[in-house]
Structure 1
């Protein structure tokens, strides 16, 4: 049989038939290509789904608007899926909103209304979400906000421009609008209207069908209410937790680290003295000496200062360095040389002549390395723990980027791999009543529902304490 076909295709008649057949195949491909293009109103490939005036609404804009609408609804209903959104009429509603927006813009432009770039820019600058830390418009904040919502600058400007055109049209039309008096009168009479009647109760058992619904009835009901039977998006989570246990050997402080930290903060652990004073600053040494002599003789420091036309001030919990910085090293020396309750020797600074009474003296004994060892060890251990956890999370992310699997990483770090039952975006276990996901993985649930399948990521479960991969 094969030999027959080979001989036939080598003959002149066979060659002619072959070329005709190949031509038909080529024509069929060409026809299919033309039929599949969007030249005749198809919506594939970003072609139009509606036309308003000279403006086209293409499928790409419709898809982006539908996605944004779904994201907004998911803030209230995290388990809502795109099929359910479409089944509930969401896509038609989004398309109606787009058509209405384009209609208003087209109608406004037809009558000479405009929303220029400067007006749109001023509106953008007034939006609080686009302001930086200084309260002014920030291009970085603007771009980040658009990226978070999956929007482009052109789309945002178009939306704002349409809104401005709508304001220019609708605000004047609604200004001072009132309903007709005849309609208001009829509406007011409704509050005084009273009616009498009778109510008859029809028990459902009187007309309840005797037989079960047929397959056709069930199918018809399903088609009318199929949106109620769309299952929410659900995911099975496979994860491993890691925390301090994974780095316990690497965070123990050494004797050298504790000693080095003590040396760095030796001044903090040295003996210290702080004092409180009542002081007076006068312009001359003679005045300061006179005040000192009178107070030393038994007069009140405050009364002497008031008689001299001055007002005493108080300094609480001052160290020697504090006084030296505020006045001068000489003043500090005089203040800390006097005994408690004594009057200091007059000493000069850039402000004048100082004389003071020592009101209180507080001393703190110095602490040795042995005394603060536990305190330093706890501080160093906590610092190393936080740093080691962050480093480990970064290392795991690098291993994931290199293609390593969750199982391999868990085996290497001696982590337990756990699996959940199918869960929905709101944390519920699919197919159960009120059962929810384990608390240990709940904080990263939002991240899980943004991930691609079989592409692990590292998420923070408890800030600075526990991570999940």
Structure 2
């Protein structure tokens, strides 16, 4: 219930723009474009968006952070655009997050906290994007990824350092926060309470005018609500699909090539052996020898170990090299030197002294060239085909760079050029109900929405078998729909808006009458209009919680009101007004052993932690000092929105 109420208060993009400390760099390397275009070096108002203490947040940094947030939102909402993001006050949230980061980091420095180079090194080494094929940190890959993202080592280390400082400061602020037991009991009882009341609705359409607005009235309404009619970016994609047959006839691998590959991979085809083992590790050699002596008299290894308060473990099937890596070479030699059923040891490793019984031996004989010739030939043919594909892609790309068109490339590979209807970034055909782009474009759409017009690219659909060449023929930027194109929609919206205003006046009259003791039905009848019959409600909070995030707004209001009160609430989409009356609250009952107490205690503790963190962020801002440059912030907003 706590989370439900908090979510009702959250903004649409609050989560995407939330303050992220140590996750900041990870997000940057998850495919998000944080390149520094440098376009904000000289915006009106200067290059300082805000100052935190003595640290300056530049307009360029604010621009990059906003772009990063938009890209992150697009992971779940592909049609999100910068224009929509700005309309939803995303830039303000991004700036607030940056200010919080700097303020907390500066406060941490005042406390004497530090994030040293070695600690930052360890954080960088743990970023998956910087690990090579062997799973270890690769400095060359690190530099390469930074270059691809338009970043540098100094910026990355600064961001990670700030995140580490913030973690050191915030962790003790909120760690282990709990609510007093009495409060937990009171809140648990609150969750069990039952509320009874009445919900009535005054529809806008009852008061909406029948005549359309004048052109002047419609233009005024459109200008005031333009952000409600922003259309997503649309793109027309041209594409041609072709198969591996376009590569022509490829020669078969020669016997010499097959033999050379067999020789190269000789270890792969050599005889191998894996063993399943029962193992006992003891701290001293004397103990190991004593247990071995018992097994020589017929006692099982497991029984002998149990007699001394120990237990055996099973290992494998495992190869010799893997066992050597896991324990030691001596352990592997002992395990693979004994016959099935034999107990080897004791041998020593860093863990202690080992006794090893061989339970099973699984041997794989060596394979001859004749046995694997077919598989090697198939693998070589696939490699040759792959090389031919890469050569074709390289040749087509060179031709594209030289000015060749998609049509030219399609002719070369003997493929038909197709063209989509306007698409949105989520692959939907704009203006339809649920129609999607052709399935062959699934892998190309995200790339197509990052391309410029008439810049063909090649991609694989089914690796090594099916390919697609595509380009963007036409781009329609995200913008408010022209008035003339949505005139009917605007007429209907204007009527609802006018009806909403008159319905509000009626709702106020009904509200006033009900506050004087008149019933909802009688107060509404006095309006001499046809209204839906008021609903009588009897509901407890547990039933409300079961609705999840789909709690109707009037029910949420009913459970936040004082007993005996009446309130008015606007319905979604200008549909009218709700009148909510709460007649009675029946308190819930809680016993000391109620299992709900533990859950509520954990939930309240989580909420308390977040509240402590928020209060601390506000205090850190006040302590360090924050100054905003409104002129520069407006300039950033204008340029991000495509203005001058």
Quote the Cα distance in structure 1 between the aligned partners of 2:100 and 2:116.
21
Quote the Cα distance in structure 1 between the aligned partners of 2:236 and 2:120.
46
Any residues of structure 2 matched to 1:13-412 within 5 Å, and which? 42-43=44-45, 47-147=47-147, 150-179=150-179, 187-188=187-188, 190-191=190-191, 193-213=193-213, 218-219=218-219, 222=222, 225-248=225-248, 250-251=249-250, 385-412=385-412
TM-score of the two chains, using structure 2 as the length reference: 0.43
**Pairwise CA distance, 1:65:** 0.8
Q: Larger RCO: Structure 1 or Structure 2 (Cα < 8 Å, ≥ 6 residues apart)?
A: 2
Answer yes or no: is the 8 Å Cα contact 1:393–1:467 preserved in 2: no
Q: Are the structure 2 counterparts of residues 129 and 386 from structure 1 closer, same or farther at C-alpha, using a change threshold of 3 Å? A: closer
**Pairwise CA distance, 1:116:** 2.9
**Pairwise CA distance, 1:215:** 5.1
**Pairwise CA distance, 1:132:** 3.0
**Pairwise CA distance, 1:445:** 2.2
Cα-to-partner distance string for 1:293-344 (whole Å, 9 max, x where unaligned): xxxxxxxxxxxxxxxxxxxxxxxxxxxxxxxxxxxxxxxxxxxxxxxxxxxx
Q: Which residue of 2 aligns with 1:441?
A: 441
Answer yes or no: is the 8 Å Cα contact 1:239–1:418 preserved in 2: yes
Q: Are the structure 2 counterparts of residues 219 and 261 from structure 1 closer, same or farther at C-alpha, using a change threshold of 3 Å? A: same
Answer yes or no: is the 8 Å Cα contact 1:88–1:227 preserved in 2: no
Answer yes or no: is the 8 Å Cα contact 1:243–1:467 preserved in 2: yes
Quote the Cα distance in structure 2 between the aligned partners of 1:196 and 1:264.
84
**Pairwise CA distance, 1:179:** 4.1
Quote the Cα distance in structure 1 between the aligned partners of 2:166 and 2:203.
53
Q: Unpaired segments of 5 or more residues in structure 1?
A: 1-36, 266-365
Q: Does 1:452 align with 2:457?
A: no
Q: Are the structure 2 counterparts of residues 212 and 390 from structure 1 closer, same or farther at C-alpha, using a change threshold of 3 Å? A: same
Structure with higher Rg: it is 1
**Pairwise CA distance, 1:164:** 2.1
* Farther-moved stretch of structure 1 (172-181 vs 154-163): 172-181
**Pairwise CA distance, 1:218:** 4.7
Quote the Cα distance in structure 1 between the aligned partners of 2:156 and 2:405.
41
**Aligned residues between the structures:** 324
Answer yes or no: is the 8 Å Cα contact 1:423–1:430 preserved in 2: yes
Q: Which residue of 1 aligns with 2:317?
A: none
**Pairwise CA distance, 1:58:** 0.9
**Pairwise CA distance, 1:247:** 3.4
**Pairwise CA distance, 1:100:** 1.3
Quote the Cα distance in structure 2 between the aligned partners of 1:468 and 1:447.
12
Answer yes or no: is the 8 Å Cα contact 1:241–1:466 preserved in 2: yes
**Pairwise CA distance, 1:407:** 3.1
Q: Residue 426 of structure 1 aligns to a residue in which SS?
A: coil
As a proportion of its length, which structure holds more helix?
1
Answer yes or no: is the 8 Å Cα contact 1:243–1:389 preserved in 2: no
Cα-to-partner distance string for 1:24-62 (whole Å, 9 max, x where unaligned): xxxxxxxxxxxxx999x9356xx0111111111111101
Q: Are the structure 2 counterparts of residues 170 and 222 from structure 1 closer, same or farther at C-alpha, using a change threshold of 3 Å? A: farther
**Pairwise CA distance, 1:222:** 4.3
Quote the Cα distance in structure 1 between the aligned partners of 2:136 and 2:178.
41
Quote the Cα distance in structure 2 between the aligned partners of 1:201 and 1:103.
47
Q: Residue 435 of structure 1 aligns to a residue in which SS?
A: coil
Q: Unpaired segments of 5 or more residues in structure 2?
A: 1-39, 262-369, 470-644
Quote the Cα distance in structure 2 between the aligned partners of 1:197 and 1:392.
72
Quote the Cα distance in structure 2 between the aligned partners of 1:182 and 1:379.
71
Answer yes or no: is the 8 Å Cα contact 2:244–2:464 preserved in 1: no
Answer yes or no: is the 8 Å Cα contact 1:43–1:58 preserved in 2: no
Answer yes or no: is the 8 Å Cα contact 2:114–2:165 preserved in 1: yes
As a proportion of its length, which structure holds more strand?
2
CA RMSD of aligned residues (A): 4.1
Answer yes or no: is the 8 Å Cα contact 2:79–2:425 preserved in 1: yes
Q: Residue 164 of structure 1 aligns to a residue in which SS?
A: helix
**Pairwise CA distance, 1:444:** 2.2
Quote the Cα distance in structure 2 between the aligned partners of 1:62 and 1:142.
25
**Pairwise CA distance, 1:428:** 1.6
Q: Residue 429 of structure 1 aligns to a residue in which SS?
A: coil
Answer yes or no: is the 8 Å Cα contact 1:68–1:149 preserved in 2: no
**Pairwise CA distance, 1:149:** 5.1
Q: Are the structure 2 counterparts of residues 139 and 247 from structure 1 closer, same or farther at C-alpha, using a change threshold of 3 Å? A: closer
Quote the Cα distance in structure 1 between the aligned partners of 2:200 and 2:431.
41
Quote the Cα distance in structure 2 between the aligned partners of 1:119 and 1:380.
46
Quote the Cα distance in structure 2 between the aligned partners of 1:104 and 1:145.
28
Quote the Cα distance in structure 2 between the aligned partners of 1:158 and 1:220.
49
TM-score of the two chains, using structure 1 as the length reference: 0.58
Answer yes or no: is the 8 Å Cα contact 1:258–1:376 preserved in 2: no
**Pairwise CA distance, 1:395:** 1.6
Quote the Cα distance in structure 2 between the aligned partners of 1:223 and 1:180.
52
* Farther-moved stretch of structure 1 (196-205 vs 70-79): 196-205
